Every structure is written in structure tokens, then in C-alpha cells.
Structure 1
Amino acid sequence: MFKPFSLFVGLRYTAAKRNNHFISFISLVSMLGLMLGVAALILVLSVMNGFDRELKDRILGMVPHASITGYDQPIEDWKSISSTVLDDPRVIGTAPFIHAQGMLTNAGQVRGVMVQGVDPEAEKAVSIVADHMLNGSWDTLKEANFGIVLGDLLARYLGVRMGDKVTLVLPEASISVAGVTPRLKRFTVVGIFSVGAELDSSLAYINIDDAAKIKRIPEGVEGIRLTLDDLFKAPLAVREIGSKLPGYYLISDWTRTHGNLFQAIQMEKKMIGLLLFLIVFVAAFNIVSTLVMVVTDKKSDIAILRTLGATPGMIMRIFMVQGVVIGFAGTLLGAGLGTLLALTVTDLVAWLESVLGVQFLSADVYFISYLPSQLNMSDVVLITASAMSISFLATLYPAWRASKTQPAEALRYE
């Protein structure tokens, strides 16, 4: 613990106006550098946490955690398989699907699309799309209506609105008297959804019975989607579930389709965090140069204190107090600024986009169209504690040098 004398003198030195304005400037720069480093680290980690959250909540809310499909043939007894799968406590929802890839056309506009044939009611258990409808209702996706639900960006590209007609072109050829022609079917737009992700530009939903007709599947479905209670355990869980099923099935999970994206975000978070932490490290060690100059400037004061009875330990603690005050003040200011920016950066970026008329994150390029942020207090506590610890360690050497000052040597030329 600091003695009252050391604390008193250290705080006086910190608050006093110095004759050497350069030292005061360096002290201010050290504090501002530490503040900006801590604030940047908190802000960037919060943004990376936001991307991580959006990936899990939106992208992985639209794609299945796992799926079970048949070997080159439909699954005819899919209801019994779905019932068996639901008996596993790790599975919280299942839904059948028929998948197709093709092109949607309207008024000369053509767009590649992934079409999912789904059971509207069962799909609610494995997808969030029903909760993100912009226009229309998810429940209007009924059998034999040949209705289609499009992503918001996909509808814009095609220039369609509610009630408009679009043509689905499948790459499977049909042989008729006119020769070999692609398989075509007209659909009516009955809904438009938006999840703010790249899937808005490439995904469409139709009723599973309509999908079976256009793909000529007389009975059964192509596969079953699964939603698990813990998506990070999906690879192991789906393998164990698949091994218990009668017959042979293909199993897959989200790590095969979007795992690289998730791993990239995690890696970027670690690397960016490390780089920004080095900035904090450098800023904290500016305190060393500040205190070294202060010690040199205060040699005569140190000598006088020593002659008045101050011990080397007291002198060391005086300058430790001064360095700790600079470091802690910069850290706390940075933590406050970083927290404020992390909580408001999404709105600030949206405001800048509206003012400048540009979109920084386009859904054509990035998997979401806005800058997310999620502030974790554990990150703030860890960053603040680390910066304070580095600041404290940075004071030890200059304070030790000050304690070794000899009064006779310091006062020789005074």
C-alpha cells in the first residue's frame, strides 16, 4: 500500500504545472494514446462480436443446423424418420424440404436462385424466415397455389412486387414435340422477406407439394432439416443421429456450408484483437519515457526529499503514483469512450450512409448489409484490467531509477 506521504506528493506532482512544457505534452500524449488504444480495441471487438452474432442469428437462422438426405432418391418414409429424430433431446425441430437450383425471370431480368420447397408450418421450427416478412404472409404459401416467397433484394433485381408473376427455369430438360426445352413454371409472388443478409438476393421459397410437382417427385421428400439446441455440437450430434436411423442416408451440417465463414470471423477477431492490443501496449509504455523525463527533471526535488528523511521506497512510490494516475486515467477514459462508441456505432454508420448517400456494407458483397455491434462486458473488463496492469508495470523501472538518485550527486551543481 502507498503511504499517505508518497500518495500526497505523487498526486501533487501529477497535478502541478511543470516548467518543462514538453514533459507535460508527452504526459498528455501518453494518456491520449492509451485512451484511443483502449477505445479502439473495445469498439473493434464489439463489431466482431456483432458479426459473430449476426452469423449465428441470421445466416444460421436461415440455413439448417443439420440435414438428412437420401442417396440419389427421395425419402418416402420421412415422417417416421422425422419422428425418430425428434426423440433425440438435442433436436428441437425438423422440417422436410425439396431443393432446386434454377433461374427466375421477369420482364427480361434474370437471376440465379436457390428454391426451397417447404412445408410452411413445419419450416417455422427450423427457420426464422416467417418472422422477417416485409410483405405478405408466410402462411399464404399454400399447396397448388404455385405461390413463391422471394428475398427482398431478389425481388428488387427482378423488379417484382406482391401479386406479380415470375417464371422459374430449371436446368432439367423436358422432351416434347417442340424438341428439348428447359422446364418452366410460372409462380405468383405471395410474400417478400428480408433478413438483412446475402440470402435476400439468392433465396426463394415455394410449397413443398408444388416443388414435388415441378421436380417430378411422386412421393416423399429430398431431405429433412434439423434444428439443434446447440449448433456448435451439430457435427457430432448429426453423425450420432444418422447412425441410429435404419438404412443409408447422407448427413450434413452447417459447418460444411458456412463453417469457413464462422472460422474466418473468429480468426479475424483474434488477430485484430492482438494487433490493437499491441497499440495499447505501446501507448502504455509511453509512460516509461514520460516518467524517465520527469525523474530527470525532478532530481533536485528528489535529493531534497531524501535529505528530509524520505526513504528510497517512498521516492519509488511517489513516481509510481504519478505513472499509475496517467495510465489509469487514460484507460478509464478509453473504456468509457469505447463503450459509448460500441453502443452507438450501428446508428452512427447508418446516419453516415443516409447523409453521404452511400452503403458501406452492400449485401452483394458482404453477408449482412449493416454494421453490427455487440458489447460484451467481459471484453471491457479484460481490456481495462490488461491496460491497467501494463500501465502499472510501466511505472516500475522509472520509479526504481528515481529511488536510486543520490542526494549529493543531484545537488552538486545546484
Structure 2
Amino acid sequence: MSDTTRLTRFEAARVVARRDFHAILFSRAFLFFLLGPLFPILIGALAGGIGGQVQRDATTRLVAVVMSEADAEAMIEARARLAPQVGRALPELAISRSSAPPDKILRETGRNYAAVVTGTLDAPEITAPQEAIAIWSGPIAMIAAHAGSSEVQAYPAVAGRPVATSRAAERSDRIRTAQAGQLILFLLMMLLAGMVLSNLVEEKANKVIEVLAAAIPMDAVFLGKLVAMLGVSFVGIAVWAVAGGAIGLLAGNALPQLPEPALGWPLFVAFGIAYFAMGYLLLGSLFLTIGGMAATVREVQTLSMPVTMAQLLVFFLAASSITRPGSPIELFSAVFPLSSPFAMLARAAQSEALWPHALALAWQALCVFAFVRVGATIFRRRVMKSGKAGRAVKGHVGETKPV
């Protein structure tokens, strides 16, 4: 067959990518894979909402006042005068007409008092657990002092000069956005990268991968599979993003709002997509190499565990350097291929410079091709048993004949 009919590496990779993409995307298992993460998110949201409501109901700021009629009324009036200046630092006060001892009032059925104030305005006493005493002693003393004063104190008006933000507040807010971006990137990569390994193990079992390896260059097979899995991952992310957007519209302002990153949301999201793609390809190429070295599913699980643990370590490395931009550890995490996507996404949230991202993406792409080439070489030697014994006659996929 003529050399002109032989597929180039990128053409062969495109053929493999198209085949794998359609085979996985239209499978029944992929539909269940898409639905899988939605159930824990829904259950977690419900549990968080219920837990927050229970916590709010369980926490009380109500303090019972058991004093003489005049002293109790004076406490209530003093609290009302102080409230505009002090706000939520003051407890809610309620006059109790009960003649029971203070410890019995705290345990009254149908009541939810945090403490009981007795005594006089000059010598108030608080009956409560030690933690509540530490919280409410100061505010109760303030209220009693104002209640016992014959003169109503006038407070000077405080003029406010609001600003949008400060340098310290801006840095703190951007660190929150960087942490959230890193966490989402890590979870998506760990959730989706495993598909590469399972797909390769399945094709090794039914000998499909050996047919492909005999027909086209092994690095083209690896690259095609990685691109196909990346495309499938983007479909999954799009579905989850739509579901998350619907939940966000229903929740409204109940969900926490992340501060705007340094580069703005459009560029930050664009870099997030780019760094996810690079991180996925880097981790996927490692998983393909592991699949090439493993002969059984048990070996795959054994060999993939160190990579998973290593990925946790590089994530922690990138996360620990967020607060130290420009430090040696931050520069190392930005250069090391597996931690580079996490570190650079954090930079996108904290710094307005664009050139480091162009440099980082080029470096990560170079590492992807290097990882693919090394992984393909290892796989070819183990599956094909030698570099030339299983080589096929030049031709199209499906039209090869062994020498």
C-alpha cells in the first residue's frame, strides 16, 4: 500500500478520539455517570439546609429577667436604648413572673432561656452554664448600669465614610475565590480522570487496544483517547453546570457569593477551563501509563493508588502556597506539571498579570506530549512485547495486515 495513504499521527488520533467519544457519550453507563454526582449534591444541600435550620432554632439569645417590677422594666428600657448602638451584642430580654428558683426556670418546659438574671441593678446575678455566663456577663452589666443611671446618656453620632474595599480585604476575598477554584478543579479532575483508566482496561481485556496499537502509532492512540475523554468530560461538566445553575436560581441569595477574581470572572472561567483541560490530560496520561503497565484490574487498582495519593499531595502543595505568591514553594508548585494547573488558577484569582498563564499553558502542553510519548512507549513494549514484532503494514485503521 502506498505511503501516501498512511494516516498521520494527528489524523490517527482524531479517528480514535471520534470513535471513543461517540462510543462513551451515547452509552447507557454514561447517563448514569452524569446522574451519579447530582444525588450527593442534592442530599448534601438538603442536609445542610436542615442542619442550619436546626442550629438556628437551637441557638437562643433570650435571657429571663427575674427582678423586682421596677428593676425589670428599667432593664428592658435600658436595653432598648442601647440596641441602636450595640446591636446584636446584646441579649434579648424577657420578664419572667415565675417564682421558681433560677435553675428551675432554665429548665421550664416550653421555654428556651439562655440565662436568668436575678438580684438588683447594682448587683445583678446570672444563672446559666459557664459558657453563657462568659458571653452575657458584659452585656448584662452594661444594661444594668444604664438602667440604674438617673441620667440618659447621649451618644455622639458617628460619621461613616464607606469605601468599596481595602487592600487587606481585597486580598482576603481573592484568596477565598482561589481556594474555591482549586477545590472545584481538583474534584472535577479526580471524578472524571478515572474514566480514562477504566476505558483502557476494558479495551485491553477485549484486545481492541492491541488491534489499534498494531494499526497506528501508540502515541496517537493515547492522544486520541485522552482528547475523547476530555470531550466527554466537558459534556459532563456542562450538564452539571446547568443543574448547578438551576439550583442557584432556586436558592437565590441563600448561596454564598464568591468575590470577583483579579482577572474578572470571564477570564477566570476561561483559564479554569484551560487548566482543567491541561490537568486532565496530564493526569489522564499517567493513568494510561498505569493501564499499560497493569495486566489485571487488581494491578490497575494497586498501581493507581500511589498516583491518587500523589495527586492529593500536589493539591495540598498548591493550596498551601496560595497565601505566599512569589515564594519558592509557590513557584515550585507553578512549575511542577501536576500541581501547575492548581497553582496557576490561584494566580488568576489573585494577580492581574496575563503572561505567566501563557507560559504555564505552553509548559503544561509540552509536558502532556512528553507524558503521552513515555506512556505510549511503555505500553507498546508491554502489550506488543517488542517494538517491531507487532508492527503492521502501513495503511488505514481496519485495513492492516500483520507482516
TM-score, normalised relative to structure 1: 0.37
Q: Which has the higher strand share?
A: 1
> TM-score normalised to the size of structure 2?
0.38
Greater RCO (CA < 8 Å, at least 6 residues apart): 1
